[in-house]
């Protein structure tokens, strides 16, 4: 089975943000499914410079390589409907829809009908597909690039009390500022933070060597204190559609690499982890600060939850997710 992977090489296509999840996790997972995976990196074919060139190059690349499956992770109009329709006539086309929680109405509903198969990570959107008469839909979920075996939890040398890995945005900066003012030093890594972006291998080490790894919301913040903090906050709240919390890859990466996770609540997370036993959930700023204080001072309980979350995560890798997807495709 030959798979053409039409992916972004860098996070959001921006080299300065580091390598994308498509390259570090999805591509290796596809290679485990098939030994014949051909990457088509969008940035190398006119992604930023010439949109029409990109369409032509995708069509030509597919014709030259004649894949059985073309696998996309599209989030916007980087590949046009006309191009997808043309590809779907000759190949099995598949797209992993990342953000159906808030992109379904303005993106998915227009693209899914012209694909051979759609993959969604949002079980609450399945009825929307059904209502549109779209039947070839597979429910999957995010995961980790791999699972680190045989971690010695009794002898971890911790470097950070609290850490966060992820891009800086106004909401996250506001949360970190709040925690800093409360006296909790949070070391932040990622695009826009002082520590900057780090490689996937270093991210794994950060999770392992942090007593607490934060997974902070990437949705629009509705806390009135945030809205009152600046006019930009109000403008962001009024203009953004990203108001629904989502399960993301980070929810699985932290425990897969031996980290203790404190995360915002996202609908459905309880399908994968037992709250309070395998991960810790926060629902607001005060709640977050309280849990940081508690788990920094209750080491045995923190370790027990960390170990339980780690054991639960063994099946939560992209390799196993993708293998299951392709079993359904067959």
Q: Evaluate if residue 239 carries a pLDDT over 80.
A: no
**pLDDT reported for residue 243:** 73
pLDDT band at residue 220 using 50, 70 and 90 as cut-offs: low
**pLDDT reported for residue 232:** 79
Contact predicate 95/136, CB 8 Å: no
- CA gap 291, 159 in Å, rounded: 19
- The CATH number for 2-140, chosen from 3.50.50.60, 3.40.50.2300, 2.40.110.10, 3.30.300.130, is 3.40.50.2300
Q: Evaluate if residue 3 carries a pLDDT over 80.
A: yes
Mean pLDDT of the chain: 93
**pLDDT reported for residue 230:** 79
Q: Using one digit for the tens of pLDDT, what is the confidence trace for 96-133?
A: 999 999 999 999 999 999 999 999 999 999 999 999 99
**pLDDT reported for residue 330:** 78
- CA gap 271, 315 in Å, rounded: 13
Give me the phi and psi of 13, to 5 degrees please: 80, 10
Which range (77-91, 188-202, 210-224) has the least confidence? 210-224
Token pair recorded at residue 152: 């010695």
Token pair recorded at residue 145: 């690039």
Token pair recorded at residue 275: 């709250």
Token pair recorded at residue 118: 């759609």
pLDDT band at residue 236 using 50, 70 and 90 as cut-offs: confident
Residues 6+ apart with CB under 8 A from 289: 178, 179, 182, 184
Q: Using one digit for the tens of pLDDT, what is the confidence trace for 254-276?
A: 999 999 999 999 999 999 999 99
For the chain, the structural domain boundaries read 2-140, 153-314
Q: Evaluate if residue 218 carries a pLDDT over 90.
A: no
Which range (56-65, 151-160, 212-221) has the least confidence? 212-221
Contact predicate 278/308, CB 8 Å: yes
* Domain topology for 153-314: Rossmann fold (3.40.50)
Percent of the chain that is helix, strand, coil (3-state, to 5): 50, 20, 35
How many of the other CB atoms lie within 10 Å of CB of 5? 21
Q: Evaluate if residue 242 carries a pLDDT over 90.
A: no
- CA gap 216, 285 in Å, rounded: 11
């Amino acid at each position: 089975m030959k798979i053409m992977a039409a992916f972004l090489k860098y996070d959001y296509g921006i080299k300065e943000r580091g390598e994308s999840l498509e390259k570090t996790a999805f591509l290796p997972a596809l290679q485990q499914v098939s030994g014949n995976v051909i990457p088509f990196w969008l940035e190398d074919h006119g992604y930023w410079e010439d949109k029409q060139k990109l369409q032509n190059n995708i069509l030509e690349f597919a014709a030259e390589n004649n894949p059985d499956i073309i696998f996309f992770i599209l989030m916007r109009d980087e590949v046009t409907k006309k191009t997808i329709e043309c590809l779907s006539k000759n190949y099995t086309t598949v797209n992993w829809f990342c953000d159906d929680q808030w992109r379904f109405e303005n993106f998915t509903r227009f693209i899914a009908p012209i694909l051979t198969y759609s993959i969604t990570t949002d079980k609450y959107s399945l009825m929307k597909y059904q209502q549109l008469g779209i039947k070839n839909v597979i429910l999957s979920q995010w995961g980790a690039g791999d699972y680190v075996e045989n971690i010695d939890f009794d002898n971890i040398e911790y470097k950070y009390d609290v850490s966060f890995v992820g891009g800086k945005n106004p909401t996250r900066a506001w949360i970190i500022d709040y925690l800093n003012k409360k006296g909790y030093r949070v070391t932040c890594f990622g695009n826009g933070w002082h520590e900057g972006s780090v490689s996937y291998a270093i991210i794994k080490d950060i999770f392992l060597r942090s007593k607490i790894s934060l997974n902070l919301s990437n949705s629009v913040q509705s806390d009135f204190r945030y809205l009152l903090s600046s006019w930009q906050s109000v403008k962001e709240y009024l203009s953004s559609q990203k108001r629904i919390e989502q399960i993301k890859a980070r929810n699985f990466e932290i425990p897969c690499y031996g980290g203790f996770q404190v995360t915002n609540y996202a609908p459905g997370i309880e399908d994968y982890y037992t709250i309070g036993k395998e991960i810790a959930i926060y629902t607001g700023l005060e709640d977050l600060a309280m849990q940081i204080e508690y788990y920094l001072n209750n080491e045995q309980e923190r370790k027990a939850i960390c170990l339980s979350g780690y054991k639960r995560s063994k099946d939560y890798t992209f390799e196993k997710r993708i293998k299951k997807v392709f079993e359904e495709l067959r």
